[in-house]
Every structure is written in structure tokens, then in C-alpha cells.
Amino acid sequence: MIANFGFGILLITFFVTVYSAVAASFSNPKGLAFFFRGVPTKRARLIADWLDNRDNPQRAASMVESARRAMLLTWPLLTLAAGLLIYLLINNHFEVQFVYEVTSRSMPTYLKVTAWWGGQAGSLLFWSWLMSAFASLVTLRKWDRDREFLPWVILVSCVTLAFFIGMTVFFENPFAQLYQTPAGVDAHILQPANSILFTPEDGRGLNPLLRHPGMIIHPPMLYLGFVSFVIPFAFAIAALITGRTDDRWIRITRRWTLWAWLFLTFGLVLGGRWAYDVLGWGGYWGWDPVEIAAFMPWLTGTAFLHSVMIQEKRGMLKHWNMLLVILTYDLVIFGTFLTRSGVLSSVHAFAQSAIGPLFFGYIVITFVASVGLIIYRWGGLKSETEMTSLLSREALFLFNNLLFMSILVVCFWGVIYPLTSELFTGAKVTVGPAYYERANGPLFATLMFLMGIAPLSAWGHSTMKTLGHAIWKPTVGAMAVTAIVFATYARNAYAVIGFFLVALVIFVTLYEYWRGARARQKGQGENIFTAFWNLTGRDRRRYGGYIIHLSMMLMAIGILGIELFQVETQGTLEVGQQKSIGGYDVVYEDIARFTGSDGREVTRAVLGVYQDGAYLGELNPRIDYYFDAQQSMTIPGQRSTLKDDLYILLVNWEPASATGATFKIFVNPLVNWLWMGSLLFLVGIVIAAWPDKDPERVVVPAGKRVRQASAAD
Amino acid sequence: MKINKFVIGGLLILGAVVFLIWNAASSTSEFFMTVDELNAKSSDIVDKNLRVSGAVIGDTIRYDPQSLTLTFEVAHVPADGPEIETEGGLAEALHQAVIDPSRERMTIVYVGVKPDLLRHEAQAIVTGHLAADGVFYADELLLKCPTRYEEAVPDQAGN
């Protein structure tokens, strides 16, 4: 009953979004006519002429208002649908297929709630729900100066929303119920003839690997990032359709883009942390197709964040920015499909899912249509200035963009390689992590080098001499650090290059801070701390960006450490025996097996950790066996310090055998810097994106409106 | 003149990327094969980098915790999406593969931690090489259990 009601709500929401999209496009007959002019038939031209004659400002305004209100209706409707689904999940309504697939009686309530995004049908609904929230938020902003964008932003949001809701209504319905028919048990939306509702005793349960705090926050974060990138795309399309192709759309969506980027980055980091804590293979990133799918929009999004600055400052790269935001949008759709479709290990598996071709069709259509719009507006997107110097800030930014795109190409090529190779050579060939590391390594290194020199180069014109003058101090500092690292820590060539680049970027960034603060100290007579504070506050995007650069370098330290210096050992120990690795002595002391909460059997080992004879503490790697899912989970015992992580896995222990327990031990140097870097990243991006200096975001009483600071920063 | 140096720069980057991809792909790519294909031409591909997928046969799983040596057999499953569809989906295809004694089988040896997902009727995707004795030595072992979960989790073991 509730399931039917939920399905009804979804169906209504689908029609509401379709209505909103249609109303939004009809509100502007001229804009609509523009589409029909693209179709080379006589009838299309007649329709276009007819539409052109129907331009009526008054009716247009009421149509837009109608579309806007319809759009605002979607969020409450989807919230209701989601509430119903959560009700079904919490109350063990296993007759609903989705509930049966992702929950079981033994799961605690909070996990039953988060099981909402634990499966494909639910996560499509979750995506739609977030999307409608963001679209509603954006329609509630003040539109006075951008009236003409509104219908097209609504159109793009509603088309996207309609696509995702349509998926849940017609293909992956979270409210489909199990019915017993003469032919067997099957899921249906409506009750088939001669059938009775079938309620299984218990559900299959959420995969134990997903029952982890990291996995509870990770998908929503990633989805928030995915969804909020739709907004800049919507404005870009609005700008293209209306022909208002100055940088207005970029200024409106700048903060959206930053928040989107924040969520996406954090989603990726949390995913890595989850892999590190739960998957039990000693790593955090495996260049899995799913990971790459989430990483690709991050690459284009990061490139976009950088290149919009060139458009704002110099009026260049307008086509490029449009292309980047379109690519990001389509990669977001692709990522949503790939991360939740459950068809990953082989690219051949795409065909297995009914929704695969639809996703591909949608991506192709939106991409072709958007690129068509860019070509149509090509003239209006011409650069206002020319790039002259190879070392100018804008040239280095362009180079940075090309590097991000190169990494994207490497990743994309890796994902589609099995398909292309089969097409052209007949052999199915895949590539593993080694491919990505080898091809991306030099690109990442060059990117870091650019991160080092770009902040010191000037806009417009810059030469070797001016750049050299600015950079020599940080370079000397970085060389000194590298020499110390070489003498005391590592002589691996990759490590030396890597640590040099890290040190260079850190010194350049700090040097930039110091120069700015000194200038204020002298000019304004502030003390150095106030000067730092005001400096950051006055140009948040720049100095927030520098903090983000620093955080990336901390992450790079962690990545260099674990990638280049990880050591591991494994072996079977009897109680009292010890094993030594990386300066640690690990003594196996005890083991116990007991019944834990949440329907699992826990096997937990106790190991004492010593260093140079001094007792450091005990670690408890364990194996959790889940009866409902018949699956075990290997939870490492970890001891984290700034220098390294001691990471112990309990591999095997049979109570009956006298051979002892088997352990696998990793020492992961410097990996903690990766997680610390991600926290600093949060600080940096909050500084860069904090919405207090943009008067458009502040509700200003009419008549007292301050000057729009669109030229700020 | 001014445009030229940017064009040259762009071409250099393009060339570098093509080289990086080609270089990395040619030295690290793995040939994806089914058990059938592997057994059919096992002599040509000895010691090549291979990736094979198959259905795990539960009774054959042996694990020696002393040496961390894991041995098991997999049965042939088709690699093509449509072919798997005609067998009734991946779960059904794996089930069919396991109960059919006439299917081609292959022994896999993997040294390392026994993955949590390794069990009867799971899909194993192994990366490694085929030795002259006909045994597949895996460096990497990935598992998927479509029967119980629609969720596919990147479960990685070893590197």
C-alpha cells in the first residue's frame, strides 16, 4: 500500500518536472524558435516563425513563474517519496524488492536508513532528491539582473531531474514489490493477475563492507559534489541560449562550483579512507573503474575552477570554459551511472544493465546539443585579449588546464581500452593500476611544478628574468630540504623529485603569503598577524586557493610515502612469537572469538607493539563474520603516527588448528599526511567559498541595495 | 609568430600524452581471456600478462595459512554481456558454470591474504600469468558475488 503510494508520488513528480521543463521553454518562444531553426526542414521553419510571432512578455512572465513553482514542488514531493522509502526500510517491509535487497532484520536502524543509497534504485532516488533541493535553492535566489537566465536554468535542471526520476519510475523502481505468480516470484510495480504479495522472512542485508561510517558519508558527499555541478552547467547553457555570453554566468556560479568541488573532493578522500580501513589490502586507491569514474569529473571541475579565473581577469578561454563545464556535467552523469550500476569489472558488462544504453543515450544527446550551442555562439565567445607570453600567468593556467585534460584522457583511455582494443585488434586487453601510475606520474609531477611557478608569474607578460627573480629564494629553500631528505630519509630518484616539488610549492606558497603580509605590514602599519588575517580576508579566493595548494602538497607527501616506501611482511605466529618490520617488533599475545552485535561473529587478536624494546601499545586486528550475508570482513589494527602507520591484518585463525594465527603487516610511511592534508583542504576551501562578500547572496532591503560587487576579487 | 609558439607547445603536450599512454599501455596491459580461450591456446600465451575471469568452485578452495598459498579452481564463464544475458544474468551464468562438469576449468594459485569474498559461485577475476605446467599464477585477485548483492564493491587483494 505504502509502496504503491510512493510509486504514485514518484510518477506525479516525474510529470511535474516534465511540465516545468515544457513551461519553461514555452515561456520564451523566441528561444524555442531558436531550437527549431536548427532543424533543416520546412515545417520546422514554419514552427519557428509561428513561435517568433507569439512572443508576449506578459504571458512569458507568467509561464516562467508557473515553471518555477512547479519546480519548487519537486523537492517536497521527492522528500515525501524518500520518507516513504525510509519508512519501508526501517520497518522491514521485505515485500518491497529494494528493501529486501539492502536490509535485514539484524541491521541497526541507522544502517537501515542509510541503506537508502546502498542500492541502485534507492541511490537514483537519492540523487534526484538532492538535485531537486539544489534546483529549488537556485530558483529561490534573487533573479533581478538575470531574469533571462531563469527559464533556461529551470529547463536544464528539470530535464536532468526528469531523466533521473524517469529512471526510477520506469526502470529501477525502489517501490517495486515481490509477487508470487504461478511462474515464480518476481518484482512488479502493479499487482499482476493471479498473484499474491510475497514477503520474504528476512532481507539479504547490506553488504557488510558498506557498514562503515566512511561508507555512510562517502556516497552522499560524492553525490552532493556530482549534483551541484549541474548548476554551473545549467547557467552555462542559459548563457549560450540567451547569447549573454559574458562572464556573468561564471560569477553567479562561482561559489556553487567551489562547493561542488569541495563535496566531490571530500567524497573521493572519504572513499579512500574507507578502502584503507575496510578493504584490508593496505592501500586507499586502486585505480578501479568506479574510482576513476568519480575522479574524472573532479579533473575537469578542477581545470574549470582554474580557467574561469582567466576568463574573469583577461576575457580569454571562453569556449574552453563552456566545454569544461559541459564535460564535467556529462562525466557526472557517467560517474553516477558507473558508481551505482553494479556492473564494473568489465566494460563489456555495460550491456547487462537495462539503464546502460539510456544513460549513454542521454550523455550523447546532452553533449552533442551543448557543443552545438557552443558552435552556434562561437563568435560571441571570442577572446577579448590575446595571449602573448609563454610564461604569463594565463599561459601557465592554460598549461595547467591541458595537464588536467591529459590526465583525464589517460584515465578515460584506460577505462575504454578494453572496448577499443577489442574493436581494432580483436583481443580484449585491459590495463591495471600500473598503467595509470606510469602514465599519470609525470603529468602529476609537471602539475606540481606549475603549482610552484604559476603563483609567482604575472598576468599578461612575464619573462624568465622576472620569474627567476621571484622564484630563486623558494627554490634554494626547496633544494636545502631535498638535500636533507636525501641525506637522512630516501635516495629513490622518484622520491627526491617528488619531495623537491612538494617543498618548492610549499615554499612558494608561504613566500607569497609572507610577501603579501609584509606589504600590508609596511603599508597599513598592521602587525604581522593582523596583516596575515586581513590579507586572507581581502582576497579569499586567492589565499584560500593557496591553502588548498598547501593541503594538496600535504596529501602528496602521504601519497609519495605510501606509494614509494610501503613495506609488508606476512607470516603465521604462535602465541608469544614476534615479527619485526620497519623498526617495529610485533608480538602475538592472544586471540579470542566471540559473538558481536549486528549479527556477526568476531575473531579478535591482541598484539603488542614494541619499538627499540619500548612498549608502544596493543593493536587488535579482527575478522568479523556476518551470518546473514555469509561474508567476513577484515578490519585492520592500525597505529598512526606522522612518520608512518603500522597496519596489521588478521588473515587466518582456526580454533582447532595448533599452527597459530596468520598476519599480514604493512608499514605505510607518511600516509597520515594524506588525511591531514584533506582537513587543511577543508579549511582552504571554506575560506575561498565563504559567502559573505557577495552582496547578491545577502538579502538587502529594497531601496537600500548596495552596489553589486560583481567585479570583486 | 606569437600564435606559433603556443601551437608548438600544444603539439608537444599532445605528443607527450600520446607517448605516455602508449608507453604505459604497452608495458602494462593485460589480455582479457576466458578459461576456454586460455586452455585452447595455452602454449602461445605462457608468461604473458593475462586477466582471466571464471566461476569459483567452492570445494576446490585450499588455503595454507603457513605459506599463505591459496589454490582454487574456476570454471569457464562467458565474457560477453549478451552471452551472459542469454544465460540469465551473471548470477545464473556463474551457477551454470559451476554445476556443469563438462566446462573447462583452470587451477589458480595465489599467494597472499585469502579474500573475504572468495566462495562458491563467486566470480573471480585474476591477473597474472599462465605457467608452463598449466597452472595460473595470480598476482591480483578480484572477486564479485552478484548472487547476494547488487552492490559491487571494489574488493582488492594483493598488488
Q: Is the same domain home to A410 and A524?
A: yes
Between chains, do B151 and A119 touch, taking CB under 8 Å as contact? yes
Total count of domains within chain A: 4
Q: Is B11 a domain residue? A: no
Between chains, do A345 and B123 touch, taking CB under 8 Å as contact? yes
Q: Is A309 a domain residue? A: no
Greater confidence, A572 or A297? A297
**pLDDT at A131 > cutoff 90:** yes
Residues of B in contact with A216 (CB under 8 A): none
**Using CA atoms, how far apart are residues B153 and A535, in angstroms rounded to an integer?**
46
Residues of A in contact with B153 (CB under 8 A): 207, 209-210, 279
Q: Is B122 a domain residue? A: yes
| pLDDT (mean) for B148-152 | 38
Q: Which of A250-254, B118-122, B148-152 has the lowest mean pLDDT?
A: B148-152
**pLDDT at A298 > cutoff 90:** yes
Total count of domains within chain B: 1
Q: What is the CATH number of the domain that holds B47?
A: 2.40.50.140
Report strand pairing: B69-76 vs A196-197: unpaired
Q: Which of A168, A191, A207 is the last residue of a domain?
A: A207
Confidence at residue A29, expressed as pLDDT on a 0 to 100 scale: 74
Confidence at residue B156, expressed as pLDDT on a 0 to 100 scale: 36
**pLDDT at B146 > cutoff 70:** no
Greater confidence, B5 or A331? A331
Of A428, A435, A661, Cβ closest to residue B28: A435
Please give the single-letter amino acid code of residue B150: E
Q: Is B70 a domain residue? A: yes
Report strand pairing: A622-626 vs A661-669: unpaired
Between chains, do A651 and B114 touch, taking CB under 8 Å as contact? yes
Q: Is the same domain home to A669 and A692?
A: no
Which residue of B51, B85, B116, B145 is the best one to mutate when testing the A interface, meaning the one whose CB has the most A CBs within 10 A? B116
The reply to whether the predicted model has a pTM over 0.90 is no
H-helix or E-strand spanning residue A541: helix A540-565
CA distance B62 to chain A (A): 13
Q: Is A708 a domain residue? A: no
Greater confidence, A113 or A1? A113
Confidence of residue A76 (pLDDT cuts 50, 70, 90): very high
Q: Is B90 a domain residue? A: yes
Question: Which ipTM did the prediction report?
Answer: 0.71
Confidence at residue A499, expressed as pLDDT on a 0 to 100 scale: 93
Q: Is the same domain home to A201 and A265?
A: no
Q: Is B7 a domain residue? A: no
**pLDDT at A709 > cutoff 80:** no
Q: Does A86 touch chain B (CB under 8 A)?
A: no
Dihedral sign (CA B145, A434, B29, B39): negative
Question: What does the CA dihedral A433, A438, A439, A445 come to, rounded to 10 degrees?
Answer: 120
**Using CA atoms, how far apart are residues A422 and A426, in angstroms rounded to an integer?**
4
Confidence at residue A415, expressed as pLDDT on a 0 to 100 scale: 83
Q: Is A112 a domain residue? A: yes
Residues of B in contact with A210 (CB under 8 A): 151, 153
Between chains, do A390 and B9 touch, taking CB under 8 Å as contact? yes
Confidence at residue A349, expressed as pLDDT on a 0 to 100 scale: 39
Q: Is the same domain home to A161 and A187?
A: yes
Confidence at residue A433, expressed as pLDDT on a 0 to 100 scale: 84
Confidence at residue A470, expressed as pLDDT on a 0 to 100 scale: 82
Confidence at residue A704, expressed as pLDDT on a 0 to 100 scale: 40
Average per-residue pLDDT for chain A = 85
Smallest CA–CA distance from B11 into chain A, residue: A402
Three-class SS state of B31 = strand
**Using CA atoms, how far apart are residues A83 and A63, in angstroms rounded to an integer?**
31
Of A684, A694, A687, nearest to A252 (Cα)?
Answer: A694
Q: Does A118 touch chain B (CB under 8 A)?
A: yes
Q: Is the same domain home to A222 and A176?
A: no
Residues of B in contact with A387 (CB under 8 A): 2, 6
Between chains, do B28 and A343 touch, taking CB under 8 Å as contact? no
**pLDDT at B152 > cutoff 50:** no
| pLDDT (mean) for B101-112 | 88
Residue A622, all three cell numbers = 579482527
Q: Does A445 touch chain B (CB under 8 A)?
A: no
Q: Which of A169, A185, A207 is the last residue of a domain?
A: A207
Q: Check if the beta carbon of residue A131 is closer than 8 Å to that of residue A161.
A: yes
Of A189, A215, A372, A180, nearest to A290 (Cα)?
Answer: A215
Smallest CA–CA distance from A662 into chain B, residue: B65
Three-class SS state of B122 = coil
Chain A, chain B: beta-carbon pairs less than 8 Å apart: 185
Estimate the crossing angle of helix A355-376 against helix A150-170, to 10 degrees: 170
Between chains, do A207 and B149 touch, taking CB under 8 Å as contact? yes
Q: Is A307 a domain residue? A: no
Name beta bridge partners: A609. Answer: A586, A617
Between chains, do A433 and B112 touch, taking CB under 8 Å as contact? no
**Using CA atoms, how far apart are residues A38 and A24, in angstroms rounded to an integer?**
19
Centre a 10 Å sphere on the Cβ of residue A528 and count the other Cβ atoms it contains: 12
Q: Is A303 a domain residue? A: no
H-helix or E-strand spanning residue A675: helix A672-689
Q: Does A387 touch chain B (CB under 8 A)?
A: yes
Q: Is the same domain home to A488 and A609?
A: no
Q: Check if the beta carbon of residue A240 is closer than 8 Å to that of residue A232.
A: no
Confidence at residue A358, expressed as pLDDT on a 0 to 100 scale: 83
**pLDDT at A431 > cutoff 70:** yes
pLDDT tens digit sequence for A376-392? 888 888 888 777 777 88
Q: Is B5 a domain residue? A: no
**Using CA atoms, how far apart are residues A408 and A348, in angstroms rounded to an integer?**
21
Q: Does A419 touch chain B (CB under 8 A)?
A: no
Sequence-distant (6+) residues with CB within 8 A of A67 are A19, A20, A21, A23, A24, A27, A151, A154, A155, A158
Confidence at residue B65, expressed as pLDDT on a 0 to 100 scale: 76
| pLDDT (mean) for A405-419 | 87
H-helix or E-strand spanning residue A571: strand A567-573
**Using CA atoms, how far apart are residues A624 and A635, in angstroms rounded to an integer?**
8
Ordered DSSP codes for A583-643: TEEEEEEEEEEEEETTTEEEEEEEEEEEETTEEEEEE--EEEEETTTTEEEEEPEEEE-SS
Q: Does A354 touch chain B (CB under 8 A)?
A: no
**Using CA atoms, how far apart are residues A578 and A669, in angstroms rounded to an integer?**
21
Of B24, B33, B155, Cβ closest to residue A435: B24
pLDDT tens digit sequence for A208-258? 777 777 778 888 888 999 999 999 999 999 999 888 888 888 888 888 899
Between chains, do A210 and B155 touch, taking CB under 8 Å as contact? no
| pLDDT (mean) for A309-327 | 89
pLDDT tens digit sequence for A36-73? 777 778 888 888 888 777 777 777 888 888 999 999 99
Q: Does A343 touch chain B (CB under 8 A)?
A: yes
Three-class SS state of B68 = coil
In degrees, to the nearest 5, what angle opens at C-alpha A628 toward C-alphas A625 and A634?
25
Percent of chain A residues past pLDDT 70, beyond the cut: 94
Q: Is A304 a domain residue? A: no
Residues of B in contact with A409 (CB under 8 A): 17, 21
Residue A194, all three cell numbers = 493471479
Q: Is B8 a domain residue? A: no
Q: Is the same domain home to A681 and A668?
A: no
Q: Which of A161, A186, A207 is the last residue of a domain?
A: A207
- What does each C-alpha distance from A693 to A539, A541, A708 come to in angstroms? 10, 11, 10
Percent of chain A residues past pLDDT 90, beyond the cut: 33
CA distance B61 to chain A (A): 14
pLDDT tens digit sequence for A644-670? 899 998 887 877 666 688 888 999 999
Q: Does A355 touch chain B (CB under 8 A)?
A: no
Q: Does A420 touch chain B (CB under 8 A)?
A: no
Q: Which of A307-321, A527-541, A573-587 has the lowest mean pLDDT?
A: A527-541
Q: Is the same domain home to A371 and A419?
A: no
- Between the two ends of chain A, the Cα-to-Cα distance in Å is 55
Between chains, do B151 and A388 touch, taking CB under 8 Å as contact? no
Smallest CA–CA distance from A402 into chain B, residue: B13
Confidence at residue A395, expressed as pLDDT on a 0 to 100 scale: 87
Centre a 10 Å sphere on the Cβ of residue A209 and count the other Cβ atoms it contains: 24
| pLDDT (mean) for A544-567 | 92
Confidence at residue B148, expressed as pLDDT on a 0 to 100 scale: 39
Between chains, do B113 and A651 touch, taking CB under 8 Å as contact? yes
Between chains, do A570 and B68 touch, taking CB under 8 Å as contact? yes
Of B17, B66, B119, Cβ closest to residue A572: B66
Estimate the crossing angle of helix A230-242 against helix A318-340, to 10 degrees: 140
**Using CA atoms, how far apart are residues A65 and A441, in angstroms rounded to an integer?**
51
CA distance A431 to chain B (A): 5
Domain, as residue range, for A466: 399-565+674-697
pLDDT tens digit sequence for A100-120? 988 888 888 888 998 898 777
Of B113, B144, B153, Cβ closest to residue A209: B153
Domain, as residue range, for B39: 30-157
Confidence at residue A659, expressed as pLDDT on a 0 to 100 scale: 67
Between chains, do A570 and B33 touch, taking CB under 8 Å as contact? no
Of A561, A555, A575, nearest to A667 (Cα)?
Answer: A561
Q: Does A463 touch chain B (CB under 8 A)?
A: no
**Using CA atoms, how far apart are residues A274 and A619, in angstroms rounded to an integer?**
19
Chain-centre distance for alpha carbon B129? 10
Q: Is the same domain home to A234 and A195?
A: no
Residues of A in contact with B5 (CB under 8 A): 390
Of A119, A286, A439, Cβ closest to residue B154: A286
Between chains, do A432 and B114 touch, taking CB under 8 Å as contact? no
Q: Does A207 touch chain B (CB under 8 A)?
A: yes
Confidence of residue A546 (pLDDT cuts 50, 70, 90): very high
**pLDDT at B139 > cutoff 70:** yes
Q: Is B40 a domain residue? A: yes
Q: Is the same domain home to A643 and A519?
A: no
pLDDT tens digit sequence for A509-519? 999 888 888 88
Sequence-distant (6+) residues with CB within 8 A of A123 are A116, A117, A219, A223, A340
In degrees, to the nearest 5, what angle opens at C-alpha A391 toward C-alphas A388 and A396?
100
Between chains, do B28 and A438 touch, taking CB under 8 Å as contact? yes
Q: Is the same domain home to A139 and A227?
A: no
Between chains, do B21 and A409 touch, taking CB under 8 Å as contact? yes
Confidence at residue B3, expressed as pLDDT on a 0 to 100 scale: 60
Residues of A in contact with B82 (CB under 8 A): 351
Chain-centre distance for alpha carbon A474? 33
- What does each C-alpha distance from A653 to A424, A592, A659, B65 come to in angstroms? 49, 10, 9, 8
Which residue of A98, A209, A404 is the best one to mutate when testing the B interface, meaning the one whose CB has the most B CBs within 10 A? A209
**pLDDT at A711 > cutoff 60:** no
Of B10, B25, B31, Cβ closest to residue A427: B31
pLDDT tens digit sequence for A440-498? 999 999 999 999 888 888 887 777 888 888 888 889 999 999 898 888 877 788 889 99
Confidence at residue B81, expressed as pLDDT on a 0 to 100 scale: 62
**pLDDT at A319 > cutoff 80:** yes
Instruction: Specify the DSSP class assigned to residue A96.
Output: B
Q: Does A444 touch chain B (CB under 8 A)?
A: no
Q: Is the same domain home to A174 and A34?
A: yes
Which residue of B13, B77, B113, B139 is the best one to mutate when testing the A interface, meaning the one whose CB has the most A CBs within 10 A? B113
Confidence of residue A634 (pLDDT cuts 50, 70, 90): confident
